[in-house]
Structure 1
């Protein structure tokens, strides 16, 4: 191997250099995982060559025995991880090793807390496995040649992990990649064969590619016998003399695809380590399911629910999906066709016996086998979550806190499983004085009052706004539970989730409130009497607010507040308006319905006001207060303040 080209100097991006230093510091307490990451990457390179060679067998270059080799040199204090996989070109090595993160770095940094344990979890999810080499190395040299290109097209990458790296063109006879770690003085333990073997066995036993280490040569034993030659009078070696046993490469892992083994043969620790291999997450998974499906469609799935959400989980455009194998041959990463977008947090793999080995993303898109597997895997994940929710509420709450907002996308995306997804959702409610979303719809239904036919909810900008909404007053008075929703996606959710298990979902902020059989006859008669008494007042308020409201009504929902606004049954809600405006959508101009509480002292004061100007001012203040409480802002707050000040001053005279 020789250098044939001039060295080129390159700079890491500022954020990447910062991330590299932070990662080395955060992961140092579990530094041996660097070897797991490098071996895992090498195994991936072998898998990718096997797939590409399906259409071009020449890529094997006469060597189809794929492997990863780990060796060390105590004298020079180096550790080398080599593979004969797909290899990299000059441009690929700059792209893959010169940029730690292609996008989202700023968002990643914004989520760092300063707590080393939690930050190391985020760093693991960020996918910086190769750079973990710098935890134990002063510098790293990478030599690579892509399969199928000339030996002169090799490339060498070197860096001390301090913001810059160099590349040079080299001649490399064998394809694949060699990563040479120049170990720090205090990390000499990683130049020891026994230490390395224990780490490989611990973390990489499940990898289907053979991981090999060099067995040292054994000196020969020369057994000399005292045999005299009668003619020459000399001694000669006995016939059983043992020759020297040369060093040789031997596998140190099982090299059997874990998912092909029986579940009873795989330990929990093996499942956890395999998760880290397929997901590049440093933490343990929350739960997993390993299943073999036989019948019209045959496949094996190994599906994991992570413990922590990645920093970019809410980016629906980010690549996601499962590793796809066909007849144990790796085909692709991130096969998104097998899992709906709202389950994009699921990690794992599929191994199909029915798909062709030359399958592409385009073929997968409209393939009946794909659709059958997707349906089966989706059902499997939902059942896994349902089981977790029933078995361990604390663990399910942990899952919900991490992934709940993404799961709320489900009812809109997956009509076929809408009800099953709905039963997995969790909400805050008036039953608990906390913002924790822990109430399921089945639990709510089980607590419904006698005669209650609907599931009531309120959507607001925050938990506090939802909890203190004036629309809840009559529900609190009657002891009726209301779901409190304050996530940005909630209004979108309820627009697609109108019914669950035969129970209609009803917003308490909509007009025409109907409490059904829970409304007693006495209350109905009292309401009718008030409507007659306040008929002229209502007409007067309508005139005052002409052009600003669709209608004015006496409220059945208010007990403490003087007034509120509600949306007509067929109009867009306030929260949906805000949601659409936030994404730049035009919002139709829908006037609200203004409801007044006839029993409130302030409303009575307004009703008795004979001065038309003051009546109009009081009406405007009541209306703008209601708008402020419901929508959080006013088009002209200065006029509202001036009007309110004028009325307060008039009361002091």
Structure 2
């Protein structure tokens, strides 16, 4: 009793849900078994804050004395399970015969007064203070149905207020088919049907009106964000899930996970954090769904991972993709808001399904050195350039001189998205900082060995000097870090062992083993640059100032690199001093 009653549920207030659920099933039972049953039934939950009492009243089937002994007072045995096995009804909620035990977590005393439809002239009163011992005595017959009265423990007396009861049960019972009333209210707290339950013969709503109604419903469940737009879920052959998803109005990053999903099984809230039913890429989605096929665990606070669960996952993914496409076609204003708030997350989402990629390929924006741009804006003669390192490297300087944007490969999903885009739509992706990308950017050339040796002596600081031709011609040289070599050294460092799992590290190092890290920096010398041309000519002619001119280029290299990561390798103060000295020599000549 202690384990089941006190440790089965995550929160004691679940007891209120369980008691309302029992009342609901009693009403369904009466409809099935009593031919003369009135059509209208209700559940009323009454609180008395001063007395610390809560009552749950129903007009259901009631209980005979034998049923009290056999079902109510026996752990793990419930009439609902027996009735479901006989009728295969989808209306019944209960399954395990454990819910009544939760009452003893809240209450120091539980009293059940009941009259069965089978014996309307007899009443019975069950009383217990711990669920282990109980008394059962005849009572004055009441209208057919049951009253469960809880004398609340001191720590739960606040639940006796009708306002608190309404707050708790409004969420649990939002989709329950039987009306639930609080106190003496004339309006049921679940009186408004969800948008996807279209009453038979009802007038079809105008599209705009239906969208407003769906947004209003979503707002009741979305506690942190305003819903931007809603996406309907319809039952299909593989899953009976119905409901509503929505896009949250809250900016997200690629790794943001604000998913929230409330799951109702046979009308009763089972789990209000079933985010794993939504795809992992949908970190900006909320929703409410209902199903008769999903199977609860014993606590009814989680779902069993069975075939119905996986079918529901697939159904939600399909509904999400189809819904986003429908918003893009039919609600352009809402679609623009979706893109502006969740651009980065959508970049990653596009890689998870070809249909999403087709939908988003021309809409999402790519972070670049010139702000967020569409992929088409990045194209230059069929080429897209992407910076594989951090901002501030040679790439920023080079492409600023070329007046061309370069994509930021250090941002979430940018690299795989652009690779996929090029594979689908054509073009060339130049990944700057990799050896392969550098070959596309710099056309390598050659120089005599003696000239290379001299240039290494007067210009180099440990880089591999590479004669090349590239744009713009006004740029004489540039130092390029090999990003792949940097990645290999970083991942193979001892620190990586502390941060990465053994399995992941083995996979990473299997990849990095193929990379050559013998050259970490390259100095590309632009043979089309006039200053470089004149420097080489001066060296060949033995000009006495050739080395001083080379010193000026070397100083320029350091200055150009001072804002990038390679600046730490060079002495900026010494370079500036050399510029000052050469400037003085020129003026005094």
TM-score (normalised: structure 2)? 0.56
Match of 1:635 among 568, 577, 588: 568
Match of 1:509 among 426, 432, 439: 432
Q: How does 1:24-43 map to 2 (within 5 A)?
A: none
Q: How does 1:55-66 map to 2 (within 5 A)?
A: none
2:320 alignment partner in structure 1: 381
| 2:471 partner SS | coil
* 2:558 is equivalent to residue 624 of structure 1: yes
1:109 alignment partner in structure 2: none
2:55 & 2:419 partners in 1: Cα distance?
Answer: 51
| Alpha carbons 1:471, 1:509 under 8 Å: kept | no
1:405 & 1:558 partners in 2: Cα distance?
Answer: 32
* 2:274 is equivalent to residue 299 of structure 1: no
1:595 alignment partner in structure 2: 524
Q: 1:372 to 1:490 in 2, by over 3 A?
A: same
Q: 1:208 to 1:174 in 2, by over 3 A?
A: farther
* 2:282 is equivalent to residue 343 of structure 1: yes
Give, in angstroms, the shift of residue 501 of structure 1: 1.3
Match of 2:231 among 289, 293, 297: 289
1:414 & 1:51 partners in 2: Cα distance?
Answer: 42
Match of 1:484 among 385, 400, 407: 407
Q: 1:275 to 1:539 in 2, by over 3 A?
A: farther
1:470 alignment partner in structure 2: 398
| Alpha carbons 2:477, 2:557 under 8 Å: kept | yes
2:159 alignment partner in structure 1: 177
Match of 2:218 among 258, 264, 275: 275
1:251 alignment partner in structure 2: 188
1:401 alignment partner in structure 2: 340
| 1:548 partner SS | coil
Give, in angstroms, the shift of residue 539 of structure 1: 5.3
Give, in angstroms, the shift of residue 500 of structure 1: 4.3
2:188 & 2:417 partners in 1: Cα distance?
Answer: 56
| Alpha carbons 2:262, 2:274 under 8 Å: kept | yes
* 2:469 is equivalent to residue 555 of structure 1: yes
Q: 1:368 to 1:627 in 2, by over 3 A?
A: farther
2:302 & 2:319 partners in 1: Cα distance?
Answer: 25
| Alpha carbons 1:300, 1:352 under 8 Å: kept | yes
2:104 alignment partner in structure 1: 148
Q: How does 1:536-575 map to 2 (within 5 A)?
A: 537-538=451-452, 540-542=454-456, 548-566=462-480, 571=485
| 2:175 partner SS | coil
1:444 & 1:153 partners in 2: Cα distance?
Answer: 72
Q: 1:153 to 1:541 in 2, by over 3 A?
A: farther
Q: How does 1:289-328 map to 2 (within 5 A)?
A: 289-309=231-251, 320-328=259-267
1:84 & 1:487 partners in 2: Cα distance?
Answer: 58
TM-score (normalised: structure 1)? 0.52
| Alpha carbons 2:470, 2:528 under 8 Å: kept | no
Q: 1:569 to 1:332 in 2, by over 3 A?
A: same
Q: 1:621 to 1:174 in 2, by over 3 A?
A: closer
Match of 1:212 among 140, 165, 181: 181
| 2:297 partner SS | coil
| Alpha carbons 1:428, 1:438 under 8 Å: kept | yes
Give, in angstroms, the shift of residue 605 of structure 1: 5.7
Q: 1:412 to 1:570 in 2, by over 3 A?
A: farther
* 2:577 is equivalent to residue 648 of structure 1: no
| Alpha carbons 2:367, 2:411 under 8 Å: kept | no
| Alpha carbons 1:411, 1:493 under 8 Å: kept | no
2:121 alignment partner in structure 1: none
| Alpha carbons 2:480, 2:523 under 8 Å: kept | yes
2:340 & 2:158 partners in 1: Cα distance?
Answer: 43
Q: How does 1:215-254 map to 2 (within 5 A)?
A: 250-251=187-188, 254=191
Give, in angstroms, the shift of residue 176 of structure 1: 8.5
| Alpha carbons 1:212, 1:252 under 8 Å: kept | yes
Aligned residues: 440
| Unmatched segments (≥5 aa) in structure 2 | 1-10, 27-40, 58-100, 111-150, 506-511
Q: 1:255 to 1:428 in 2, by over 3 A?
A: closer
Higher mean displacement: 301-310 or 496-505: 496-505
1:173 & 1:532 partners in 2: Cα distance?
Answer: 85
Give, in angstroms, the shift of residue 602 of structure 1: 4.4
2:295 & 2:344 partners in 1: Cα distance?
Answer: 36
Deviations 1:118-137 (A, max 9, x none): xxxxxxxxxxxxxxxxxxxx
Give, in angstroms, the shift of residue 640 of structure 1: 2.1
Give, in angstroms, the shift of residue 534 of structure 1: 8.3
Q: How does 1:12-161 map to 2 (within 5 A)?
A: 49=18, 147-149=103-105, 151-152=107-108
Give, in angstroms, the shift of residue 344 of structure 1: 1.3
| 1:304 partner SS | strand
1:31 alignment partner in structure 2: none
1:496 & 1:51 partners in 2: Cα distance?
Answer: 55
Give, in angstroms, the shift of residue 643 of structure 1: 2.4
